[in-house]
């Protein structure tokens, strides 16, 4: 019986190998070139096709660079690379202006009217929100009981 050991870089699923790769937004938009050292010591020079864009969470594969298929060692699985795009935290005004000129696509605009309320998107911390919910869970549960049951979440909207 063959025993599979955990690897720091690769995860095995059948005869396919999976790995993660972090890349910058610049690399995602302009093309990736990097090396991957295989478990047998070979170094692969990996690159995207010219003009290809890599979206965050995209998986790409290198054919025949996985593990040998059980019962047929001449047929190999694929090496699948899951990409995580690292976005900049902030951009200065000059960079934003340049990007708007360079990148195709429509920028959504809204004509501000007096009756609109201005709102700014802020960072959301899911872990902190979950902790807050857990801390105040009994208050939420008592609200459900007062509304006539806890069979589902009921949300009421004010109309003006």
Q: What band does 43 get if pLDDT is binned at 50, 70 and 90?
A: very high
Would you tell me how many other CB atoms lie within 10 Å of the CB of residue 98?
Answer: 12
- Tokens found for residue 111: 């004509």
pLDDT for residue 45:
97
| Cβ proximity of 48 and 31 under 8 Å | yes
Strand partners, 46: 34
- Residue 57's closest CA among 91, 26, 80? 80
Average pLDDT over residues 15-23: 95
Q: Where are the domains of the chain?
A: 11-86
pLDDT for residue 107:
81
CA distances, 157 to each of 90, 154, 160 (Å): 35, 10, 10
- The superfamily CATH assigns to domain 11-86 is Urease metallochaperone UreE, N-terminal domain (2.60.260.20)
């Amino acid at each position: 019986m063959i025993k599979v050991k955990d690897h720091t870089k690769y995860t095995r699923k059948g005869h396919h190998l999976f790995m993660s790769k972090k890349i910058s937004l610049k690399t995602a938009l302009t093309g990736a070139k990097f090396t991957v050292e295989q478990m047998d010591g070979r170094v692969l020079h990996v690159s995207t096709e010219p003009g290809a864009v890599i979206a965050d969470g995209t998986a790409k594969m290198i054919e025949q660079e996985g593990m040998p298929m059980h019962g047929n060692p001449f047929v190999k699985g694929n090496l699948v690379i899951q990409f995580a795009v690292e976005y900049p935290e902030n951009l200065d005004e000059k960079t934003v202006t340049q990007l708007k000129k360079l990148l195709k696509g429509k920028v959504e605009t809204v004509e501000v009217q007096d009756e609109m309320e201005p709102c700014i998107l802020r960072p959301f911390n899911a872990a902190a929100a979950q902790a807050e919910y857990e801390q105040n869970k009994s208050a939420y549960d008592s609200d459900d009981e007062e509304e006539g049951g806890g069979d589902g979440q009921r949300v009421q909207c004010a109309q003006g």
